[in-house]
Amino acid sequence: IVLTQSPATLSLSPGEKATLSCRASQTVTSYLAWYQQKPGQSPRLLIYEAFYRATGVPARFRGSGSGTNFTLTISSLEPEDSAVYYCQQRSIWLTFGGGTKVEIK
Partner 1 sequence: QVQLQESGPGLVKPSGTLSVSCAVSGDSISNNNWWAWVRQPPGKGLEWIGEIFQTGNTNYNPSLKGRVTMSLDTSKNHFSLELTSVTAADTAIYFCAQLVRFYDAFDVWGPGTLVTVSS
**Where are the extended beta strands (E) located within the chain?**
3-6, 9-12, 18-24, 32-37, 44-48, 52-53, 61-66, 69-74, 83-89, 95-96, 100-104
Using CB under 8 A as the binding rule, whether residue 54 contacts partner 1 is answered as yes
From the list 12-20, 30-38, 60-68, 72-80, the region that binds partner 1 by CB under 8 A is: 30-38
CA distance 67 to 31: 10
| Residue 42 sits in the site that holds partner 1 (CB under 8 A) | yes
Q: Which of 12, 16, 48, 71 binds partner 1 (CB under 8 A)?
A: 48
Least distance from C-beta 73 to partner 1, angstroms? 18
Which residue type, as a one-letter code, is found at position 51? F
- Contact residues toward partner 1 (CB under 8 A) are 30-31, 33, 35, 37, 42-45, 48-49, 52, 54, 86, 88-90, 93-99
